[in-house]
Amino acid sequence: MASHLLRQPRWVLVAAAPALLFLSLVVPFSAAKLTTGYYRKSCPRVEQIVSDVVTNKQISSPTTAAGALRLFFHDCFVGGCDASVLISTNAFNRAERDADINLSLPGDAFDAVVRAKTALELQCPGTVSCADILALATRDLVSMLGGPFYAVPLGRKDGLASHAASVEGNLPRPNMTMDAMIALFAAKGFTEQEMVALAGAHTVGFSHCKEFAARIFRAFDPSMDPRFAQALQKACAKYVEDDTIATFNDVMTPGKFDNMYYLNLKRGLGLLTSDHALVADRRTKPLVDLYAANQSAFFRDFSRAMLKLGLLGVKTGRQGEVRRRCHDFNNLFA
């Protein structure tokens, strides 16, 4: 694992029973081949094994859940949900995980998938793809933090390509305008509502100070609560010398998956420029208001959006492989 992925952020600012949801969508042909019973005969304990491993990992490393959410999103939005983000760079190829925007992906999330893969290889060798493991792990970790538990169709194959050059332009940036955000998500087939629901993942996790420094230094962004901006300025005072300094996305309930993110936006406690844009834009503000007032609505729409995300660009059959190790193609020269 690359050394930059093992670096942990410096924490300087701290501040419902899950429901099983089965959802139906119109999906592309490859995604239609996925089914919740895909491993029923070949690896019947797959979900329990993944759950056990990632639960233990989350207990020992509490940032794992938020990291897995981000890892899953970054994987799916670049070429589809095929575990290409897990591939390590080698002498022949600079992989996705070494693209600039992916350098801060937390090592604990990668480690959770690797541990689950190791456990599954002992039980069901060469059977369960890394892409399916990442999808299951993300769902289980969201649920572990109090979020919704939704069905995950399985049968993805692991991708055969991973190139850092393919990342740029496929992932949202912290300073994006709402027009740019909507256009990016629309290009992937997501509505404005699905975009706002997926943004709710920011109810957990952290952001590095460099990602929002422009909002708090020189002059405070007037859309921010002044006390919040002052606290961030103090917390991030040395971020130029130490780029690992980070703050929680949700300073109120950072370890709980809930709708507090949306409440924070309405109070001027949004961290990123792209966060604030959701409550400032007339197209997305009604959705922020809805989710701030109704956590059940947020959980319902988040689950639907995550299911759709998990079907994005999946590979099946000969389009991919089941990797022996998640960070390497089975064929070095793939």
User: Which whole-number Å values give the CA distances from 297 to 134, 230, 247, 263, 290, in the listed order?
Assistant: 25, 33, 27, 14, 7
- The three-point CA angle 207-212-213 to 5° equals 120
User: Which whole-number Å values give the CA distances from 226 to 182, 216, 267, 293, 302, in the listed order?
Assistant: 28, 10, 11, 24, 30
Strand, helix or coil for residue 268: coil
Strand, helix or coil for residue 252: coil
Tally of CB atoms within 10 A around 122: 9
Bind-site residues: 75, 78, 80, 82, 84, 96, 172, 202-203, 250, 253, 258
**Catalytic member of 74, 208, 276, 327:** 74
Strand, helix or coil for residue 146: coil
Strand, helix or coil for residue 164: helix
Q: Is 205 left (phi over 0), alpha (psi -120 to 50) or beta?
A: left
The answer to whether the CB of 262 falls within 8 A of the CB of 291 is yes
DSSP at 248: E
Write down the residue that tokens 């290009």 correspond to.
187
At CB < 8 A and 24+ separation, what contacts does 291-297 make? Answer: 291/196, 291/197, 291/200, 291/259, 291/262, 292/259, 292/262, 292/263, 292/265, 292/266, 294/259, 295/16, 295/258, 295/259
Q: Is residue 276 annotated as part of the catalytic site, yes or no?
A: no
Q: Which residues are catalytic?
A: 74
